[in-house]
Amino acid sequence: MKTAGAIRLLKGDITKLEVDAIVNAANSSLMGGGGVDGAIHRAGGPQILEECRAIVARQGGCKTGEAVITSGGRLPAKNVIHTVGPVWNGGNRNEPELLASCYLNSVQLAFRNRISTIAFPNISTGIYGFPKPEAAEIAVTTVKNYLEQQQLLQQVIFICYDDENFSIYEKLLV
């Protein structure tokens, strides 16, 4: 565990965290999937999917780079912010900008919901294939810039599930 101002680095399972909001690396259908998305829906129970269905009925899913919020269902976290990372396609299809939007829209949505502690997984670096070092750099830069501009968000946790991401973040956050 490391601290860098309001940023904290953890290794493990995001579904275990008792924070105001955990972020889900979802897909635009918001109907669940594998990876961290599957883990969050399994641990949080049917309430989260029900709220996702209501969002889909209202706005037709969630575009890449955008974010929506539901309750945390049975999770220890109070809320889940679902964001849709870009699929890595070689890097010339706005993937870096879209990934930065995921982090920025998530912290802005947290701010609007008076959330003070939030935890992020390593969005897009699993099934969506975004290179891990570049993704980590974007995540840390975007969140650090945002934290400098506001006072409400007290703690941002980056939680890494795999060793590779954890050592990349460790180096970035020293």
Handedness of CA 134, 135, 136, 139 (dihedral sign): positive
In the stretch 22-51, what mask flags binding to ligand AR6 with x, by CB under 6 A?
A: ---xxx-----xxxxx-x------------
How many other CB atoms are found less than 10 A from the CB of residue 34?
Answer: 10
Least CB distance to ligand AR6 at residue 59 (A): 18
- Residue 10 host element (H or E): strand 7-11
**Interacting residues with ligand AR6 between 78 and 117 (CB under 6 A):** 85
**Interacting residues with ligand AR6 between 115 and 154 (CB under 6 A):** 121-128
Cα Rg of the chain, angstroms = 15
How far is it, in rounded angstroms, from Cα 54 to Cα 162?
Answer: 33
Catalytic residue flag (residue 163)? no
Return the number of the residue (65 or 126) whose C-beta is nearest ligand AR6: 126
Q: Residue 116: what are its φ and ψ, rounded to 5°?
A: -110, -15
Q: How many residues bind ligand AR6 (CB under 6 A)?
A: 25
Residues forming the site for ligand AR6 (CB under 6 A) = 13-15, 25-27, 33-37, 39, 85, 121-128, 159, 161-162, 165
Q: Which residues are catalytic?
A: 37
